[in-house]
Amino acid sequence: MRQQGIAIGNIIGSNIYNILGVLGITGLVRPVEIPASIAHFDLWVMVAATLALIWFAFTGKRLTRLEGLFLALGYGFYVWLLFVRHGAFA
């Protein structure tokens, strides 16, 4: 369990640093405008992915292969939606 805890802590810590540290310093240098698409779509995808990971992590105290497959397929679906929404396949 110790190695998994370190891995999850590393992921969470990296995300917190990137959001608060990098984006905060960037905002100090120059104001950052958030596109409406991020506020309306991407934000909710991030919230759903976070809740799914929390659910998976705390229900079995372990991320199974099936749960990992679910997260990977969800990411693939999200990337596909981004391409479709922005006309990359047209």
Nearest CA to 52 out of 68, 40, 38 is that of 68
pLDDT at residue 77 in the model: 92
Instruction: Give the global pTM.
Output: 0.61
- The domain locations on the chain are 1-33, 34-90
For residue 78, give every residue at least 6 positions away whose Cβ sits within 8 Å of its Cβ, in sequence order, or none. 45
How confident is the prediction for the chain on average, in pLDDT? 81
pLDDT one-digit tens code per residue, 52-73: 888 887 787 777 888 889 889 9
pLDDT per position as a tens digit, 16-49 = 888 788 888 888 899 888 788 777 888 888 888 8
Under the banding of pLDDT at 50, 70 and 90, the label for residue 2 is low
| pLDDT > 60? residue 1 | no
CB distance 74 to 47 below 8 Å: no
